[in-house]
Chain A
Amino acid sequence: MSEYVGYVQGGLHAHPGSMSRCDDGMHQYLEVHSRLEAITSWDGWEGHFDLGSSLEKDSLNESVLCSYCAVYAVECGLQSGCRRCIWDGRGGRGYLTLASLSGSPEAVVDVKLVDPSCTCKAIKGAVTKLRLPTASVRGNLLKLRSQTDCMRTSHNPQCIKMGGSVRATCRTAHVSSEVTLCVSGLCRGDGNALAGTVTQDTTGPHYKYSDDPFLSPYSNLTKRSYALSKESGRKAARWIREEYPKLFLHRPDEPFIECFQPKQQYEEGVEVDVDTLVGVVARGEVANAITVYRLCKDKNIFLPDDVLQDLLELLCFYNEEEQVEGWRTVRQSSATARKTWKDNSLAEEVFASLTSRGPAAYCALIRGMAHYLQVDRAWQLYQECQQKGIPLDTGTHNALIRVASFLRDASDLRWQLVQELLCGMAERGVCPDLGTLNATLAALAQVSGWRQARDISLKVLMEFHQLGIKPSLASYYYLLTIHCRDRGPRSDILVGILDQMEGQSFTLQDPKDTSFFVTAMEVARNHLKSLKVAERVESLLHQGTNHLFIGDSYKESVYYRHYFALSCSSLPIDEFMQVYDKLVPHIYTPEPGIMQEVLQAIQTSGALHYLPQLWSDMVLFDHCSRDKLVGLMLTTLTHHQPSPDDLMLTERLVTIAKDIWCRVQAQDPTRRNKVTWTGTMLGCVVEVVVRCGEYQTALEVLREATAAPQAVLGVLPAQSLTALLSAALHRKDADTAVAVVLYAQDAGHQETGQMAQQVHSSLALSHHHLASLASALGRDVYLPHDTPATSSAPAT
């Protein structure tokens, strides 16, 4: 619960030990869930509380939703009541649920009416006396119910009906938190029941984009750029608030939400004391904490050790850098992780200023140093602790295990060090946990080239299983990296992992949990090359809330890239196109490489009726400036044989060819990556259009080819030239025919002679034509028996 206090107040702070934000999607999930977790609702009208049989059974996590605002339950915030429930005269049938605030079943509920507008003194008096020190929550609720019944009957019910808020303080074994009871029939659950009914929507853009055709992105570039533009707009607004905080100090919100207020600034002249420092550290504001600490030091204010300890933990966790609000782009983990710990800086100063450096202080410092890769100092401190006999906790040991690879060079020495650490833990009676398992596997993943790494990893897993520690998605991720390597033997461990995971739903326990699905799909594609396994992974992803473990949008695109490529190579074309329709373009936009594979698949299978759809998609995804793709599209087009029963398709394919022609011609010549015509491409264009009857475009192409031969790489192939020639002869177009022959001659095709003969025999040629033919080919080549003056009528 201590992790969630920040959430309840409307802000999302990454407190030590809590989940880190991965992306917008995960953030939204966490925010909704954590906000809704600690709320109670209250039915004040109907004269009874319906506790719901689910509460009788147990579980504090059961959510019972209002049948009226169930629609809005996910969107319900902390602040206001569900007025709809009150005012539509149905009495707001809400249910009272005291969702779990912490693991503890003991909750003491003090109810205080704090509505300032309530003038009923009697109510105020009555309510403050309501203390329910009963052991079970259920008991609490029953008491609450009976008390409020009294309240309602004996006092003016209008007071409660006014929608005032009642604040309930819940003291549990761990922490005390204030929870606002909104007396307005608001029904909240933890949102899971409702959210579980909403599956992924493949028909529209991602929720972070606006649902408008102009504002929906289709290509990868636009997807990224729109998201970044929106985020930069948010940053601009944040900057304005930071720059002019005095404009935003008004407080119209009841209850007060700290998140919407500008951050308190601490400068030189401000009065500070210990409590200020405590408050600032509790809110996780690193820069402010540093300022206040310095101010306290200047004024020689005595800071007790526990306050210093909290400050030390904050500084170590964040490495003295303020956390930026908003969407953080996930930096791809660089191969060379660099040390970022600030040496001899404030954290170490605070550590030194502690009067008694207990285990907690050492733990905080070692963990911070290990996290930010100041490995040598961390190791030094560890040795120091061992000598002095200071006990360290599990988390510290886990942090050390993670960085053990940096301390030794050889693989077996690294593993030896990890083993030493683990034995050290066992000696001192420190219980390992999931973090230990993940750290050990991470260390093994660092030495995955070592032959024994695979066996050891399995043994580690077995041992932790005996300890009762269930592996998380991160553990499976490390297993995959260890076993399914590029240059290693084939391993079917993924199948085993999937068998274990069937039907499970997961919670986020480690930052690397989000890498599992991407890696699993990559293994399925490259290592196992099995579509069945890929399908299993995909179905696992769509179970329950597992789709959140896909991580950020980059990981999602990589995941679907592998799935897509695998489907393309394994499935027959029709089934594959179904997968294509489902995923493209909103969930996944194919990269040029993948598009190439798709086109090749279509070429081999001959399903050319998909080409119009593919071309329009290629235009949307901005693939038209890629030579390879355009060339491949053109060659695929040439495979089409027009027949009377698919005139529509023929027309469409011709439209594609003409579109390609127009687009490339209309390209800006100063552009960097543009398509340059090759002879083959032009040949394909000519062939396609001629075959389908579009003569004019073919003429244009020929004109272009002859007029600027240096702009075209290579020459038109003979096949296309013969096709064009036959079309020209059919139309009795002597100019074109002669031009074709001359071009063929320039190109050096073998069939030139044949073509020339054809021309001569089929058409009546003018002097000019004959002269040019003669000059190009030589008189005797094309005139076997005739003289130039006499021209016979076409024979064949």
Chain B
Amino acid sequence: MAGLSYLLFKSKRPQLNLWHNTVQWMIPGAELRGLHTTAIASKAQAGRYRVTRDRSRPLTYEMANQPFKIAHRKSWNSWNTTSLFEGMREPETVVEDIFIRKFMTGTWHNLFLSEVIIKRQHNMVRIAGIIHQRITAQKMYFLIGYCEELLSYWLKCPVKLELQTVTDKEDVIYKYI
């Protein structure tokens, strides 16, 4: 058996990439144990949804368009000038955006039907999104006042919420896959 593997090694083999080669050699006797490693699967799977058998998964327009469609059929969810030349505060802005998104989706329980859009303009942060009309308008106003005030205390700048409401979920569903 050992002889066979040695022979296999010596014979012409397809060009493996460095990682594959390394792995095979890092584990002594890899071939003996039948340990197979595959090539790196450079497969893009971000922002893509798996098709279901009965086509029951609902997708919003944003979900339906994959990331390479950004700037073609989609636009960004965060708008700021941090990525421009000599843009400042890029990491802080990213972390703040994560915080804002968690905060908004957590405060509005299962009410956001779209992504949370964050636009930074001068010293203001404008937060936009589509909300489901599952709670009364009075409760929505309470949450709006609360979010605006608390986020402005957290981010130390004026925060404005610009929300739109929708009667039922189906209104934002673009297709089913």
Contact = CB atoms under 8 A, between A and B. Distances in A.
A214 B145 contact: no
A252 B146 contact: no
B126 to A, nearest CB: 10
Contacts of A233: 141-149
A240 B138 contact: no
Contacts of A215: 137, 140-141, 163, 165
Contacts of B147: 233, 237
Interface in B124-154: 124, 133, 137-150, 152-154
Interface in B57-73: none
10 contacts: A76-B123, A77-B123, A83-B81, A210-B141, A212-B163, A226-B137, A233-B141, A233-B142, A233-B146, A251-B156
Contacts of B171: none
Interface stretch (B10-18, B34-42, B84-92, B111-119): B84-92
Nearest to A80: B123
Contacts of A214: 133, 137, 165, 167
A213 B166 CA distance: 10
Given A215-B163, A252-B92, 20 more contacts: A75-B121, A76-B122, A76-B123, A77-B123, A77-B158, A87-B84, A163-B86, A210-B144, A214-B137, A215-B141, A229-B138, A229-B139, A236-B142, A237-B145, A237-B146, A237-B147, A248-B153, A252-B155, A257-B156, A260-B153
Closest 9 A-B residue pairs measured CB to CB? A233-B145, A237-B149, A233-B146, A230-B145, A229-B141, A77-B123, A253-B156, A237-B150, A233-B142
Contact of B145 (A80, A211, A232, A248): A232
A539 interface: no
Nearest to A247: B154
Most chain B beta carbons < 10 A, residue from A163, A212, A236, A253: A212
Interface string A82-108: 111001000000000000000000000
B164 interface: yes
Given A222-B137, A251-B156, A252-B156, A82 B145 contact: no
A330 interface: no
Contacts of B86: 161-163
B165 A230 contact: no
A82 B139 contact: no
A591 interface: no
B164 to A, nearest CB: 5
A451 interface: no
Interface string B90-125: 001000000000000000000000000000011110
A717 B144 CA distance: 53
Nearest to A79: B123
B164 A212 contact: yes
A238 interface: yes
A231 interface: yes
Contacts of B143: 233
Interface residues of A, number: 44
Contacts of B84: 83, 87
A77 B156 contact: no
Most chain B beta carbons < 10 A, residue from A87, A231, A237, A260: A237
Contacts of B133: 214
A72 interface: yes
Nearest to A84: B81
Contacts of B141: 209-210, 215, 226-227, 229-230, 233
B157 interface: yes
A648 to B, nearest CB: 29
A161 B158 CA distance: 25
Contacts of B140: 210, 215
A337 B36 CA distance: 90
Contacts of A297: none
B138 A226 contact: yes
Contacts of B163: 210, 212, 215
Contacts of B145: 229-234, 236-237
Contacts of A82: 122
A493 to B, nearest CB: 43
Nearest to A240: B150
Most chain A beta carbons < 10 A, residue from B140, B147, B156, B165: B156
A485 interface: no
Contacts of A162: 86
A236 B137 contact: no
A241 interface: yes
Given A210-B163, A237-B153, A77 B81 contact: no
A75 B160 CA distance: 12
A226 B143 CA distance: 11
Interface in B21-66: none
Contacts of A79: 123, 157
B156 to A, nearest CB: 4
A760 B86 CA distance: 98
Interface in A263-299: none
A225 interface: yes
B142 A212 contact: no
Nearest to B124: A75
Contacts of B161: 210
B20 to A, nearest CB: 46
Contacts of A234: 145-146, 148-149
Contacts of A77: 122-124, 157-158
A669 B140 CA distance: 30
B142 A260 contact: no
Nearest to A251: B156
A210 B140 CA distance: 10
B146 A87 contact: no
Contact of A241 (B92, B153, B157, B164): B153
A260 B88 contact: no
Interface string A718-757: 0000000000000000000000000000000000000000
A188 to B, nearest CB: 11
A80 B122 contact: yes
A358 B157 CA distance: 44
A739 B41 CA distance: 86
Contact of B144 (A213, A230, A240, A253): A230
Contacts of B81: 83-84, 87
A295 to B, nearest CB: 27
A162 B86 CA distance: 8
Most chain B beta carbons < 10 A, residue from A80, A211, A213: A80
Nearest to A186: B122
Nearest to A238: B149
A209 B161 CA distance: 11
Contacts of A251: 156
A238 B154 CA distance: 12
A79 B154 CA distance: 16
Interface in B163-177: 163-165, 167
Contacts of B167: 214
A162 B87 CA distance: 9
A324 to B, nearest CB: 14
